[in-house]
Amino acid sequence: MEFKPDWNAVRERFERFWNNENEERALIAVTAKSDRFDERVYHETYSVERFRDSDTESIRQWWCDVEENVRRNEYIFSTTYFGGEALPIAFTNWGAMAMCSFYGCEPVFNKKSVWYHEVIEDWDTWEWKRRENEYYQATFEITKAFAENGKGRYFAGMPELGSAGDLLSLMRGMDTLCLDLYDDPDAVHRAIAYLTKEFLDIQGKLEPILMPASQEGGVLPWMSLWMPDRGGNQLACDFSWVISNEMFREFFFGELEEESHWNHYATYHLDGPQCMRSHLDSLLQLPGIRAIEWTPGIGSPLASTPEYFPRYRQIQEAGKQLVIVAQPEEIDILTRELSPKGLFIKTEADSEEEARELLKIAEKNAAQWRREHR
């Protein structure tokens, strides 16, 4: 693979990871800008920052135009060091809830993100209907372009479509949706069932496009996670942080079970300490979930904070893979305190030399772990 020349060895490590057999070290996906990266060239030629804030059409095209997406990713991949298990993955990225734009939400594109405004005012008059509009079409066109251009060179990943709870929290509004769980639960159940069906249908249409470009497996792009079978879109419900575990199980476990049945290597994105405290125990009881990815969230203690480690060990002892997004300075303590088996850490380094050093630290700590556990 052009941008990941050691892919064959990396693939073997991923296969051992999914079998909890990677004792030689935790999997570490570490990227760094290479010496070929030119900040001026990127800013003037590829970055969205080159447009004025008032130039909303150029900003929208930056997100949606096929050629713009392909050439931008080509430059990034050609000027990035992909260390350890870090993978060059291109995917349509309009935030985590892109499916909103298929059902009546007009996306708002800016230099930082994509946002979707509320559109469901009244359940009695709301009609669910997929609009195969310009955004739906662009999602497929960009994905196809990545798959065709990237074959044998880089990976093409599943677009982030969005989970039912998080889609509804935007389309209906978070506060209103919370009240709906009590005041109109049947409408919420119908909406979740509809969006789950749609999610699986759209994934099914994208899968044959992506599988040949993903080494006949699946990739979860933003995690840099490869799996040797069907999958590639995270399971999630960030909305769950504002509801009880009883509500979470009643409304959203059916969705998780259906989606994990389709995603053979289903990975759940667990966001924030509140979700960890309220919902981790229940999530570990779902057999279809293979891995738990932990994100502390903005304003929360770092991933290496000691209070999290009992929960990390709980995930590993349940036989699930553990995925952590961490800072480079956290790699030592994370790989020292946790079993390397089934552990995957994603991070960024300031240089290729620093990235290589982080891999050595993980190898050293894994060797110490093996000596202590034989």
pLDDT in tens, 74-91: 999 999 999 999 999 999
Is it the case that residue 248 has pLDDT exceeding 80? yes
Q: Band the pLDDT of 241: cuts 50, 70, 90.
A: very high
Q: Sheet containing 27-33: which strands, arranged edge to edge? A: 80-84, 27-33, 343-348, 321-325, 289-295, 266-271, 235-236
Mean pLDDT of 324-339: 97
Is it the case that residue 141 has pLDDT exceeding 90? yes
Q: What angle do CA 324, 240, 337 make, to 5 degrees?
A: 25
Mean pLDDT of 346-367: 98
Joined together, the tokens standing for residue 372 give 């202590």
Joined together, the tokens standing for residue 240 give 């769950």
Q: What angle do CA 64, 69, 71 make, to 5 degrees?
A: 150
Is it the case that residue 357 has pLDDT exceeding 90? yes
Question: What is the percent of the chain with per-residue pLDDT over 90, rounded to a whole number?
Answer: 93
Task: Please tell me the chain's helix, strand, coil percentages from 3-state DSSP, rounded to the nearest 5.
Answer: 50, 15, 35
The rounded Cα 241 to chain-centroid distance in angstroms is 18
Q: Band the pLDDT of 232: cuts 50, 70, 90.
A: confident
Total-model pTM: 0.96
Mean pLDDT of 99-125: 95
Q: What angle do CA 363, 223, 117 make, to 5 degrees?
A: 155
